[in-house]
Amino acid sequence: MITALVVATVIGVPVTIGVVGAATSGGDSDSSSGSGFGDLDTEFLDDGLITTAIEEAESSAAAVKGATPVELSVDEYGLTITYYDPNRDQVRTFEKDAYDPAGYQVQVEDNYFEDYRPRPLPLEDLDPAVFVEVGEGAIEESEEPYSYQVSAKADLDSGELRIRADVSDGGGDDVVEVTDADGDVVER
């Protein structure tokens, strides 16, 4: 009886410590986003995914003759490349979102704004790795990031590429950062 009690104690203590240790560490080290930013999903903030999306968008119906890219945007819900066709006065969006992981969608809408005349986005100047670094840097600056959006557009005055990262922490201490194509901050 004493031998059984000693054996149960010797085996039971390490098992109990292991169970308690797994419970206090969360047991499952894989977060919902796999991003390293807590629960914030940064799946679409990936330079390989952005490169592939640009290539596919450029060869898709979004890039019909006369349409030019005007914005690339990534947030926790997906990736969007927006084109503007001044000949038809239409906005074309090429989207990949979290709700339709199978592929991309192209949507075409008539432009309803008289003064909407965006400058073409110089995609050849966009380095997806820099785009991701700007977004991740802004997220890291936020104490408790709640949501984010990273976008690339041409500056309305100069036509130069600008990358803008907006990160909300839900408490009013948002991080907003605008950089040039090299990731150098031009506005904070």
| Domain ranges (residues) in the chain | 47-187
pLDDT in tens, 40-62: 888 889 999 999 888 888 877 55
Q: Bigger pLDDT: 175 or 10?
A: 175
Give me 74's structure tokens.
């990534």
Q: Where are the alpha helices (DSSP H) in 25-91?
A: 47-58
Give me 174's structure tokens.
């948002």
State the pLDDT at residue 25: 35
The answer on pLDDT for 65 being more than 60 is: yes
State the pLDDT at residue 16: 35
Give me 141's structure tokens.
């600056």
Mean pLDDT, residues 85-96 taken together: 89
State the pLDDT at residue 37: 64
What is the DSSP secondary structure assignment for residue 107, as one 8-state letter? E
pLDDT in tens, 123-172: 889 999 999 999 999 999 988 898 999 999 999 899 999 999 999 987 77
What is the reported pTM?
A: 0.75
The answer for residues whose C-beta is within 8 angstroms of residue 105's C-beta and 6 or more apart is 94, 95, 96, 97
Structure confidence at residue 173 as a pLDDT band (50, 70, 90) = confident
The answer on pLDDT for 120 being more than 70 is: yes
SS3 5: helix
Q: Report which of 135, 145, 168 is spatially closest to residue 49, judged by C-alpha positions.
A: 135
Give me 72's structure tokens.
């690339």
SS3 97: strand
Structure confidence at residue 108 as a pLDDT band (50, 70, 90) = confident
State the pLDDT at residue 144: 86
